[in-house]
Chain A
Amino acid sequence: MIRPIPMLWLSALAVGCNEVPDVSDACQTMCKDATDLYGACLEEWGMEWPEAGFADESAHQESCEVWSWESSELFGAGRVNALCDERGALLHNGECSDYTSIDWNEEL
């Protein structure tokens, strides 16, 4: 049986549609470092961004930011921001192995 959706729910959903997820400064910085490092690695390996599955470096940066806000919603901003700080320190002036050793899919 289909029940009518109360207007209050619809209003709440409409508000939700307009909400832009935030990316913390820590994660934005980490993502910038990740993109810079991975781009340098691809260049070193003789590869272009599309060969790594990204249209360009901005697509990589954006994907990293999507990862950060999704993870923040699922596991909490505090935990993810701390991880962004940790990974940012690793990736800033890091080596390719620093990037490739990260498992972005690990459960936090």
Chain B
Amino acid sequence: MATPSPDGRGLFHSAGTREPKDLMTAPIAIAALSFGLASLNGCDSKGSDTGNTPSLADTDADADADADADADADDAPTTMVFVSTDFEVYSLGTMDLATETLTDGIAALPGDASVQSVGNGLIYNLNRFGFDVLRIYEPGSWSAPAVELSVGDGTANPHDVVECDGELYMSLYGGTVIKVLHPQTGALLGAVDVSEYAEGDDIAEISALFCRSGTVFAVAQQMNPTTWLSEGGTILKVDTASKSVTNAYPVSPNPRPKNHPTDPNQLLLFSGHYGTGDGAITAFDLTTGEESDPIAYDADYGITFSGFAATETHAVIMGTNYDYTATRVLCVDLSTWTMTEGFSIDRYAGAMSHDGQGTAWIGIPTDYTVEPLVQGLQAFDIDSCSPRGSLIESVLPISSMTFY
């Protein structure tokens, strides 16, 4: 039976075969076409914890990052999209930022899921290790993705997406290339070979991607496949025209970059390995390729730095202690980089994201020591370094967030 699958590659359907038609052929064909048409309708690219300021597609000439004609500020997001999970079920939900009304369990997601926005008005759902599925959602239309496609065989492990020069770049943590896709249809447009930057195998462990002035910066964590340690990472500068790496800058081991709060020409690099106390925060200059001396050492705080969210003057840094039994949120005065205690959780937590309006949203995991079990979202005001309101409960713990 011909079974054109709704693979959403923006191509014809690879699962189809030219065999005798049966009763199902016409309906499936129509369904497939409908899917194809749907796919036409259609960055916290650094995950939920990196403090990317969300924005809509910027097509005007002013200096801000939103799509309107004024130059005063970016459009404020209205809605959070989140993934909640018990690590068996992955679920999509939303929260209205004005009313803080949470809508849970809207749709099931394939697995190991994250959500990201890249500034083009669409929501990208990456389903990572073992799943290798990209879904593209039109905000508000959550019942079915506009596009769904495979990006690998289960080992590709898509980590990040960024739109640059009109194309969608997708890092594959377990792959030898960065894929280049059509941002609306997901059609494969090309690839950037990064196998030269592998360490001990042919996989460079490319994680975060950034776009600056039409150039992609890809962060290779370069894990040794035997020890699963990084002896040093590399930031790759990728020319979008030739789809090739033009420069490679060595940086600290296991780099986990964040957008700099005020300077788009810099990244903040969180380095080091989880649970060891060998990490630091440095600044990386995208124009010169130089990494600064450490700004802070995670050993001084007894945690591994992970999440980051910032306004122009203050930031919060999330980190977990070395045996993963407690999580701290530290408040940072960005003028001096002095850190003070802000919030603590007596268990592991890993999800934090800035809504672009001064609030860091922290995914509070389930506390199994009390009944009834609760989990959800805690708002934390970045500038005043204080929690705001009470826990907003969700059915499952929230693991990834983005905003539109």
Contact = CB atoms under 8 A, between A and B. Distances in A.
Interface of A: 13, 16-21, 23, 41, 45-47, 50-55, 59-60, 62-67, 69-71, 73-74, 96, 100, 103-107
A16 B32 contact: no
Interface centre among A45, A54, A55 (most CB of B within 10 A): A45
Interface residues of B, number: 46
Interface string B282-304: 00000000000000000000000
Interface stretch (B54-62, B67-75, B183-191, B255-263): B183-191
Contacts of B195: 46
B153 A47 contact: no
Contacts of B16: 62-63, 66-67, 70
A47 B12 contact: no
Nearest to B9: A53
Contacts of A54: 14
Contacts of A46: 176-177, 191, 193, 195
Interface stretch (B23-31, B100-108, B207-215, B361-369): B23-31
Interface of B: 2, 4, 7, 9-23, 26, 29-30, 32-33, 35-37, 39-40, 149-150, 152-153, 156, 175-177, 182, 185, 187-191, 193, 195, 243
B18 A45 contact: no
Contact of B13 (A16, A50, A63): A63
Top 8 closest pairs, chain A to chain B, by CB: A105-B36, A67-B12, A66-B16, A45-B191, A46-B193, A70-B29, A63-B14, A63-B12
B21 A51 contact: no
Given A53-B9, A67-B13, A19 B20 contact: yes
B18 A70 contact: no
B171 to A, nearest CB: 14
Contact of A100 (B35, B152, B188): B188
